[in-house]
Amino acid sequence: MSLLNRRFIIALPLLVLAACGFQPVYGPGGTGTALQNAVQVDAPNDAYSYTLVREIETRLGRAASPRYALALTVDTSEEGLAIDSEDNTTRYNLVGKVDFALRNLSSGQIEVSGNVENFTGYSATGSTVATLAAERDAQKRLMVMLADQLVTRLYAADLAP
């Protein structure tokens, strides 16, 4: 295979990405740049939403003069997974769902909305203190995962500059 053919084959994926409208998130005019320090997130009303809002603000920054408002509804549930011979639940799944809507503050129009869902688990086989620590850690992990998913969905949105 000639050197020119190898170069063409290596460059082909980049040409395909350029043809499909690929634009870097943090490039000029990218969604990441448009959202950075521009989103006012609803105030949290419980421990779950507090952690979620903190994680979102870590990724997007805290807006001094917001262009967008992000409304969140957090719903969580706990499912027992493993039961031992003495009828004690020894493993739990923590399931979370966040409904969101990003609204343009100048036009009042909802730019993007939807929901993200995920789950994590923790063990309840140790002492009471260890189980509580595992549960709190699972709650934080779940909110981090949901924040990552939500911010990724926002970055994928087609926001007008």
> Could you read off the pLDDT of 140-158 as tens digits, one per residue?
999 999 999 999 999 988 7
Percent of the chain residues past pLDDT 70, beyond the cut: 80
Q: Taking the CA of residue 8 as centre, how many other CA atoms within 13 Å lie in the half-sphere pointing to its CB? A: 5
Predicted TM-score (pTM) of this structure: 0.80
Tell me the per-residue pLDDT of 12-52, one tens digit each, with 9 for 90 and over. Answer: 666 555 555 556 665 666 666 778 899 999 999 999 999 99
Residue 125: per-residue pLDDT: 85
Which two structure tokens, joined as six digits, stand for 143? 């909110």
